[in-house]
Structure 1
Amino acid sequence: MTASHDPLVQLNDVRIERGGRAILRDVSLSVPRGSITAVLGPSGSGKSTLLAALTGELRPAAGSITLFGQPIPTGSSALREMRRSVGVLLQGNGLLTDLTVAENVALPLRTHTRLPMPVLRRLVDMKLHAVGLLAAADAWPRELSGGMARRVALARALALDPPLMIYDEPLTGLDPIASGVIMSLIQRLNHSLGLTSIIVSHHVHETLPICDQVIAIANGGVVFQGTPAALEASDDPLLRQFLHGQPDGPIPFDAAPRAKVA
């Protein structure tokens, strides 16, 4: 692990609500610079809610969130500027079907910079080369496999050279080989580009081998923060249930009753 002890992301006693209902409560965690941090948890545990808070889409009802040593800004222009430093790989890739692979990767550069066309094309080629898809620059999204489309989306997320990358369920819909390629890419790019990466996932066994730190979320809060080895060695019933996919245990299968809104 080459991570610095200086946290790039810090949450202190954060409470996040949706529709007046608390999704996450008393969340405190830190993400060291240069690390790969996995945020794991069962479906519906609040992982996507946490992601939305990190990108400024959701404001915490209580507590504080800092990125790059600063609170997440509230003004729209300042928030847009901060988001240039955060690359997000979405679950559904979000590729525009009427643009080629190269045009999709170029989109953030066209939107946020005024680079000359030769420079822009060179940067696009570099990003596609980094994910092994330079030869597919002129292809259309419909011509790509699921794994290839995910790599194009990764190249686009890296277009502005963000120091922080957030991966939202990067393995959804991928076969085991494509999953292995994506996780290897995440690890290699994190180390070679000096990134800090947060992987939001429920794919435990594919994610643990590449990460430095694990944060497990369940039942509305953080239930574990530590190394992958410490997680696997834990005898906590909740963690054992999640790691081994046991149907019965502290994590309920049935949805909790919704609180009535007055």
Structure 2
Amino acid sequence: MDPTPNAVRLTDVRLHRGGRAVLRDVSLDVPRGSITAVLGPSGSGKSTLLAALTGELVPAGGRVEVFGQPVPQAKHALLEMRKSVGVLLQGNGLLTDLTVAENVALPLQAHTQLPKPVIARLVAMKLHAVGLRAAAELFPRELSGGMARRVALARALALDPPLMIYDEPLTGLDPIASGVIMSLIKRLNDTLGLTSIIVTHHVHETMPVADHAVVIANGGIVFSGTPAQLQASTDPLVKQFLNGEPDGPIAFDSAGAMAGSAA
């Protein structure tokens, strides 16, 4: 693997959706081993940025690199690259007719030639890592929201990806479950030597585990620094976002946000 100190690097990236510029001139370094929180209001372009990291969206300009290599466009090369990136989807994406263990086994069955006993052992290890080994034979409908999120996390970790991307990991969770998920993200990042990017609008829940914070608004990055620097910022735009104020430099434009499909 490339010895570059950055797991992810974006250089002057421009991202378009439906012919509309969503993000412009975005540059960002995500150091290996760090937890970076990508924050911003709904419609600001957070999920569009995520799509560029996974190769789902080809930038209109600039360069996106993962572990020192540009995100490929060729199908086979892109599939190989994605094995090194685990994504926890906002809606979990669990298959309802499969058990917890069967859901976690899916990536291993699809991308490896490992024998069934080895896959079963790996699935048990991943479920143990998220505290759900006893839930292996349950179905998704039998899980609480927090448990389902942890199963989805175990599945995202199945191939041991060095980079994890979390897409709004706290959506729909109560405060206790949210605390469990954020604590788990931090513990897994440290014990497994991962690099994590958390795409979220949940500022106060995410800051305690983050090393670096980025705020996206008005088509670009408006803040980049430590959580302490974020809290101390006097920038009117940053303060509006942190305080949830309806009036300020960040325009509340639901029609524009919907058009961009960039929550």
Q: TM-score, normalised by structure 2?
A: 0.95
1:67 and 1:257 map into 2 onto residues whose CA distance is 30
| Partner in structure 2 of residue 83 of structure 1 | 82
Specify the alignment match of 1:229 in structure 2: 228
- Partner Cα distance (1:200, 1:30) in 2: 15
Match in the other structure for 1:189: 188
Kindly tell me: are residues 65 and 101 of structure 1, through their superposed partners in 2, closer, same or farther at Cα, counting changes over 3 Å?
Answer: same
- Give the AA of the match of 1:129: H
Matches within 5 A, 1:35-54: 35-54=34-53
* 1:13 corresponds to: 12
Counterparts of 1:140 and 1:12, CA distance in 2: 43
Q: Is the 8 A contact 2:146 2:178 kept in 1?
A: yes
CA distance, structure 2, for counterparts of residue 113 and residue 155 of structure 1: 17
Taking the TM superposition and a 5 Å limit, the aligned residue runs for 1:1-262 are 6-255=5-254
CA distance in structure 1 between the partners assigned to 2:242 and 2:208 by the alignment:
14
Distance 1:239 1:75, change over 3 A: same
- For 2:155 and 2:223, how far apart are their aligned partners in 1? 32
The structure whose RCO (Cα within 8 Å, separation 6+) is larger is 2
Structure 1 runs of 4+ off > 2 angstroms?
254-258
For 1:77 and 1:257, how far apart are their aligned partners in 2? 35
Instruction: Decide whether the 8 Å contact of 2:4 with 2:67 is kept in 1.
Output: no
What is the deviation of 1:19? 1.1
| Worse-matched range after superposition: 83-92 or 241-250 | 241-250
Aligned residue pair count: 255
- Matched-pair identity in %: 77
Unaligned regions of 5+ residues in structure 1, if any? none
1:5 CA displacement: 8.2
Separation in 1 of the partners of 2:53 and 2:135? 32
Could you tell me how far 1:253 is from its partner in structure 2?
1.3
Contact 2:36 2:197 in 1 (8 A): yes
Distance across 1 between alignment mates of 2:248 and 2:181: 31
Distance in 2 of aligned mates of 1:256 and 1:175: 29
Q: Give the letter aligned to residue 124 of structure 1.
A: V
TM-score (norm 1): 0.95
Question: 3-state SS of the aligned residue for 2:42?
Answer: coil
- Matched AA of 1:44: G
